[in-house]
Structure formats: structure tokens, C-alpha cells
């Protein structure tokens, strides 16, 4: 099999409502859809979601795709996923979401060639995974109403954004806990917004008041590795590294230095499924569980995260909810939600249909 044609199409997908975290507010999800066509009439789809966190824009993605990626891909055998991944890693600096999109498109082709859904091709450890749904920063009443809305739709795990105001965070989380009851899991994500002292104060206060927090994600700035390690050693709640574990090298460093209790792998940050497999394997050997998260991703990208999450035992947690956030996605299939779980498609490859 040979790759005969490739293309990249940017799409700005509008969110149902603006989404705020500790360091930004967005109302558009920029996604670049990647199409790889082969001489056997098998087409692979991938999707890049550039973000300020990965120092990308849709312009840098399109630029790199047109000037570098095209020349690498055309004429290659798409089933040689690891070989092509190495070629791209050698020639492309940065642009991890672009590398991720290309990588997942190759895996889509591989699954279609094997006539297997990707999660089974990768190992098929489970056929679904419980996911959190994220509540962005807003006034307390608004966040409580959104929490109740998610619970009414069957979700059993909430991820509450925090990190701007410690006292308000305590108020919000307690209000959400009172509104949803004791059986719903609550995770907190500070997006680097706390100091060591604030992180400990927030969690210790919440624990004393019975909030029962499952996970605190990235409480301190990513560059201060030992601040995160200190929170991890002192905090009664498990700590997850996210922005600290930006790249594959970062993820391995976080595991090796025991900086956090678990790490959040995002395909857009780490550069795709091939690199995610490496990071997860290293984490599993170290007995550190992994979460698969997402950016402002269309189902065209998020489906790859779902398939990856279901393929491996060590992926214990998922935050795969971005496809719920858009007024209208252009992708069908890939995965669906049921009783708080996200379930991968059983169609070959990623199981997605893209309507450009």
C-alpha cells in the first residue's frame, strides 16, 4: 500500500458556550482535519487541535503540513506507522497536534486494513471507560446548575475547573457536592493556578468539610517541578500532572522523578498514539496510572483518545468530553456516551465519518 494524496482542512467549531479555565477563555475550537488517501482506496482520517498550551495555531499546523508533512507522507506505506512517526519526529519541531493528527490517521488506515476497530487492534483491554465531564469557571450558581445537568444526563464523574480564587473554589466545590450528593465523583483541575500553600489549604479545607475529592490536577505552575512534587507528598488527595507532562520527554521525567501520583496524557500534547503508548508503558512499569484527556477536540480527534484509553489496562481514568461541547461537529461515529461511560465504535479503524 502507498499513500497517494494528503490534505488538511481547517475548521472553526463553535462551542455551545464560552469555556473558561484559570488562564484563558475560548469560544471556538480550532480543528484541522487531515485526510490520507491510499492506492488501495482506503482513506485515513485524523484531526489536529492546535492550542496555546502546545504553542500552535491553525496557521502553523497548515504551514508545516504543506511544507514538510506532505513530502514525508506521499509515496510511503501507511502501515509502517512507527517508521513514518520517526521520520516526522526527526523533521518536525513542535506542532505536536499536527503530528498527533497524522499519526491517528495512519492508525485509522491500519485498523481499516485489518478490519478491526482501533481499540481491539491495540490490545482491547476494555470496551468502555468512565469519563469525567468538565465544568468551566463561572459564578457558583452557574457551575452548580451545569453539574446537576450532567448528572441528570447520566454522568457520574465531574471535573471542576478551579485555580483563580481559592476561597471561591472551596465554595463552588462544596455547593456542587451538596447539589449532586455523595456518590458522584468530583475531580478538580487548577490549570497551574495555585501555589503550594493554596493547593494544600483548598484540599485540606474541602476534605475536612466532607467534599471527598477524587483527584486534584495540576495545582501548581508546570515549570516548578518540585512544587508539584511537594504538593504530591503532602496532599491527602491524589495529584495528577498535566501541563507538567506536556511532551513525551516531560511525561517520562514526571514518572521517573515521581512528581505526581498519576499523569494526564493528551494525544495533542504528546504527538499521537505512538508516543502515548511509550509514555503509558513507562508509567505502567512504574505503577503510575494514566488519564487520557482532550483539548477542544472534534470527535475526529477525540475518538482516537477513546480507542487508546480502552486498549490498555493502565489507562485508569478518562476526561474525554470535548465532543459534547460543540454546537455542531462535522464528525459522526467514533464513540458514544452511555451511563457516564464513553464507548468506542466497533467499526474498523477510528470508526468516524467526516463531512467536510
Asked about 35 being catalytic, the answer comes back as no
Residue of 138, 100, 84 whose CA lies nearest to 268:
100
Q: Is 154 left (phi over 0), alpha (psi -120 to 50) or beta?
A: left
Separate counts of helices (H) and strands (E) for the chain? 13, 16
Catalytic residue among 128, 159, 185, 266: 266
Q: In this structure, what DSSP letter does residue 261 have?
A: S
Asked about 161 being catalytic, the answer comes back as yes
Q: DSSP secondary structure string, 103-171?
A: HHHHHHHHHHHHTSBHHHHTT---S-EE--EEE-S--HHHHHHHHHHHHHTT--EEEEE--S-HHHHHH
CA dihedral 51, 263, 289, 236 (to 10 degrees): -130
Q: How far apart are CA 139 and CA 243, in angstroms?
A: 25
Catalytic residue among 161, 185, 198, 229: 161
The set of catalytic residues is: 161, 266
Amino acid at each position: 500500500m502507498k499513500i497517494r494524496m494528503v490534505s488538511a482542512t481547517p475548521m472553526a467549531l463553535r462551542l455551545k458556550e464560552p469555556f473558561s479555565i484559570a488562564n484563558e477563555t475560548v469560544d471556538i475550537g480550532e480543528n484541522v482535519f487531515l485526510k490520507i488517501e491510499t492506492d488501495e482506496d482506503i482513506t485515513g482520517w485524523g484531526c489536529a487541535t492546535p492550542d496555546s498550551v502546545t504553542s500552535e495555531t491553525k496557521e502553523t499546523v497548515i504551514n508545516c503540513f504543506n511544507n514538510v508533512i506532505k513530502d514525508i507522507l506521499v509515496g510511503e506505506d501507511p502501515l509502517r506507522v512507527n517508521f513514518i512517526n520517526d521520520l516526522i519526529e526527526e523533521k518536525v519541531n513542535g506542532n505536536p497536534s499536527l503530528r498527533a493528527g497524522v499519526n491517528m490517521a495512519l492508525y485509522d488506515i491500519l485498523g481499516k486494513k485489518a478490519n478491526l476497530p482501533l481499540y481491539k487492534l491495540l490490545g482491547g483491554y476494555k470496551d468502555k471507560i468512565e469519563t469525567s465531564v468538565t465544568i468551566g469557571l463561572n459564578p457558583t450558581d452557574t457551575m452548580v446548575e451545569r453539574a446537576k445537568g450532567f448528572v441528570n444526563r447520566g454522568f457520574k464523574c465531574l471535573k471542576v475547573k478551579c485555580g483563580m480564587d481559592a476561597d471561591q473554589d472551596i465554595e463552588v466545590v462544596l455547593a456542587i457536592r451538596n447539589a449532586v450528593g455523595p456518590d458522584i465523583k468530583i475531580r478538580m483541575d487548577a490549570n497551574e493556578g495555585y501555589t503550594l500553600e493554596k493547593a494544600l489549604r483548598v484540599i485540606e479545607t474541602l476534605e475536612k468539610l466532607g467534599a471527598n475529592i477524587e483527584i486534584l490536577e495540576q495545582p501548581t505552575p508546570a515549570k516548578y517541578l518540585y512544587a508539584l512534587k511537594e504538593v504530591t507528598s503532602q496532599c491527602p488527595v491524589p495529584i495528577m500532572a498535566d501541563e507538567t507532562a506536556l511532551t513525551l520527554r516531560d511525561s517520562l521525567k514526571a514518572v521517573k522523578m515521581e512528581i505526581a501520583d498519576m499523569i494526564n496524557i493528551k494525544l495533542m500534547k504528546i504527538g499521537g498514539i505512538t508516543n502515548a503508548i511509550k509514555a503509558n508503558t513507562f508509567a505502567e512499569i512504574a505503577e503510575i496510572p494514566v488519564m487520557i484527556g482532550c483539548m477542544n477536540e472534534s470527535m475526529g480527534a477525540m475518538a482516537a483518545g477513546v480507542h487508546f484509553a480502552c486498549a490498555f489496562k493502565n489507562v485508569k481514568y478518562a476526561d474525554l468530553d470535548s465532543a459534547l461541547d460543540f454546537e455542531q461537529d462535522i464528525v459522526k461515529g467514533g464513540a458514544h456516551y452511555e451511563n457516564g461511560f464513553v464507548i468506542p465504535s466497533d467499526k474498523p479503524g477510528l470508526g468516524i465519518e467526516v463531512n467536510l
